[in-house]
């Protein structure tokens, strides 16, 4: 049995796509996921499964949410090793203000051409580093005021993505290690 982390995009934000975490855990247990744990209300799930195919797991979770809650929620699944690698590879980890570090996790790898175009972008008080599976962000004025956000990343790179802050990524890794 392997441990995975599922990241749901856009639930319980601004009163839209509301899901109680207890109901979400139950729905995921009903499709055979084990040791289902959620972290905060924004769609962070740690679980175990014998299914090793990430795409099948993403589809199963997507379908369960649509069936049980009546709406579609983009779902991205990563492994404990991937989160660990992202945290270790973060080019901004030596900053003194760690509260302003964010990770935009990419569901698909963007094309090299789109990555090259993206690398030409400049934003005041915002730095970034793009990899094939993550855009690392340093938002000196905070993510809420950032021009470089999840929607812009999806638009420019033509991929699905979801953003998490450093604290959430660290907590998800901790939960995955405990599972």
pLDDT number for residue 14: 67
The confidence band for 96, taking pLDDT boundaries of 50, 70 and 90, is low
**Same CATH topology for 2-79 and 81-165?**
yes
44 closest CA partner among 86, 6, 101, 13: 6
CATH classification code of 81-165: 3.30.70
- Which sequence spans correspond to the domains of the chain? 2-79, 81-165
* Interacting residues of 113 by C-beta distance below 8 A, sequence separation 6+: none
CATH classification code of 2-79: 3.30.70.1280
Torsion of CA 101, 156, 76, 43, to 10 degrees: 60
Span 6-50, pLDDT tens digits: 999 888 766 678 889 999 999 999 999 999 999 998 889 999 999
pLDDT number for residue 18: 86
């Amino acid at each position: 049995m392997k441990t995975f982390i599922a990241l749901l995009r856009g639930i319980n934000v601004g009163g839209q796509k509301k899901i109680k975490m207890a109901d979400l855990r139950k729905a995921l247990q009903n499709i055979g996921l084990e040791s289902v744990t959620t972290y905060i209300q924004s769609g962070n799930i740690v679980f175990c499964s014998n299914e090793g195919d990430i795409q099948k797991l993403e589809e199963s979770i997507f379908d369960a949410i649509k069936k049980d809650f009546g709406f579609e929620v983009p779902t991205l699944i990563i492994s404990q090793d991937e989160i660990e690698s992202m945290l270790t590879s973060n080019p901004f980890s030596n900053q003194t203000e760690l509260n302003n570090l964010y990770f935009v996790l990419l569901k698909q790898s963007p094309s090299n051409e789109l990555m090259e175009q993206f690398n030409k972008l400049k934003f005041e008080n915002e730095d970034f580093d793009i990899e094939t599976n993550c855009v690392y962000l340093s938002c000196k004025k905070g993510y809420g005021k950032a021009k470089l956000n999840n929607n812009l990343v999806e638009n420019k790179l033509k991929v699905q993505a979801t953003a998490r802050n450093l604290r959430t990524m660290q907590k998800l890794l901790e939960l995955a290690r405990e599972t």
